[in-house]
Structure 1
Amino acid sequence: MQITPDKPVALIGYSGHGYVVADAVLRAGGKIAGYFDREEKEKNPFGLAYLGPESVAEAKTVLESADYFVAIGDNQLRKRISLALAQMTGRSAASVIHPSAVISPTVLLSTGILIAANATLNPLVAVGEGAICNTSCSIDHECRIGAYAHIGPGAVLSGNVTVGENTFIGANAVVRQGITIGSNVIVGAGCVVVKDVEDGVVVVGNPQKVISSKF
């Protein structure tokens, strides 16, 4: 389900990543009902109404007449809030696609995803629930992006790459064709990945080097 001009969308979270989402919503012709956050933000570049924390009872009333999108870059927090809101509302988050994105008609898109400005998704790509394909990333044929993963700005995934759930691929990272990257992985900015990556590790450098385990 993508945002439509007929129904406003409420943003969950409103800071750096939220600004990217708000811009994409407006450029796609959508309307923003306002934003939920723990507190009202002093910085409000899009002049959005503050709706309070998403955990309050009044939030359910707002979300009965508006779609919602979890505009939070952190994978684990985005997943936790998305699952809680899906349970509260009985429906998944809408998806936001910037009009400049290039997406093959054979791409499979789940719910609650962001396809940001100038992202390219080539044939037979599949993007899981709640994933982010950020600004100018390039995702080539038959890649699989797991739920709540985040492909950073300018990252390049060659064909047949698999990215596990909750994994973060840093800005301008490059992943060789046919590579499998596990779940809960961090790939550092500019990293060149030339062999498979196991779950739960942090890799950096060219070629990749494991520097730590997240868990």
Structure 2
Amino acid sequence: MSEAKSVFLFGYSGHSYVIIESLLDAGYVIGGYFDFQRAERNPYELEYFGYEGEVDVKTIVGNDLVFPSIGENPIRRKLVDIFEHHRLNQFVAIDPSAQVSKTASLNYSTYIGKNVVVNAQSEIGKGVILNTSCIVEHECEVSDYAHIAPGAVLSGNVYVGTESFVGANAVVRQNVRITSGNVIGAGSVVLSDVEEKGIWVGNKLRKL
């Protein structure tokens, strides 16, 4: 990156720390953060600009970049709605260690973390989290505001619906569809389509 770009974060806690280090490693500058209250811990010594619902975000941010640094899918969705409403500058945050196919499609306000692999012809929506060391194989579709947790594996042609969560070290067999709003528990094995909304765990997969 020839010139450092400033990024304003929305949310400042555990998940944001991971994003911050990826952004710094990629050559960005963190301009500060917005949150519903000032953080008790400030390990990166960031400036606090207030709660986005009570301040003039557009005037503060200007033409700099914004990013939703929140792990919860519905909150991340609300933040992206705000960004779109104010026509703020969004982008894809990619850790330098990630391996992303040149034929993959990536939408804005998505985070691709350390050692993530995104393979050929995959489509990643907006506001998605691909967390540490997860694998998204060829021709997968990860819809808006979904979260693929650390170490999870999506085999080829997997579909993950809007706001769904695939837990740490879960494995999803090729050609499986997981519909919107589902939660797949950590370490689970998904061998067939998940169409009924709920929390699913285990091997053999069962609904809680």
Shorter-chain TM-score above 0.5: yes
- Answer whether contact 1:92 1:112 (CA < 8 A) is retained: no
| Contact 1:175 1:193 (8 Å CA) reproduced | yes
Contact 1:167 1:186 in 2 (8 A): yes
Distance 1:165 1:95 in 2: 18
Give, in whole Å, the separation in 1 of the partners of 2:67 and 2:138. 27
- What do the CA deviations read for 1:180-212 (whole angstroms, capped 9, x no partner)? 00000000001100110014221000121111x
* Structure 2: gaps (5+ residues): none
Q: What residue is the counterpart of 2:164 in the other structure?
A: 167
Which ranges of 4 or more aligned residues in structure 1 deviate by more than 6 Å?
A: none
**117-126 or 41-50, larger mean C-alpha shift:** 41-50
Match of 1:110 in 2: 107
Report if the CA contact (8 A) 2:63-2:89 is conserved: no
**Residue-pair matches, total:** 208
Give the secondary structure class of the aligned counterpart of 1:183.
Answer: coil
Measured in 1, the distance between the counterparts of 2:81 and 2:14 equals 22
Partner residue, 1:16:
14
Structure 1 residue runs of 5 or longer lacking an equivalent are none
Instruction: State the SS of the aligned residue for 1:57.
Output: coil
Partner of 2:143: 146
Q: Secondary structure at the match of 1:106?
A: coil
Letter in 2 for 1:14: Y
C-alpha deviation, 1:90, in angstroms: 1.5
Match of 2:192 among 192, 195, 203: 195
- TM-score, normalised to structure 2's length? 0.96
Whether the 8 Å contact between 2:8 and 2:32 is mirrored in structure 1 is yes
Partners of 1:46 and 1:207 in 2: CA distance: 43
Tell me how far apart the structure 2 counterparts of residues 4 and 167 of structure 1 sit (CA, whole Å).
36
TM-score, normalising length: structure 1: 0.93
Q: CA RMSD in A?
A: 1.4
Distance 1:196 1:58 in 2: 44
Q: Choose the corresponding residue for 2:25, options 13, 24, 27.
A: 27
With over 3 angstroms needed to count, the CA separation of the structure-2 counterparts of 1:110 and 1:37, relative to structure 1, is: same
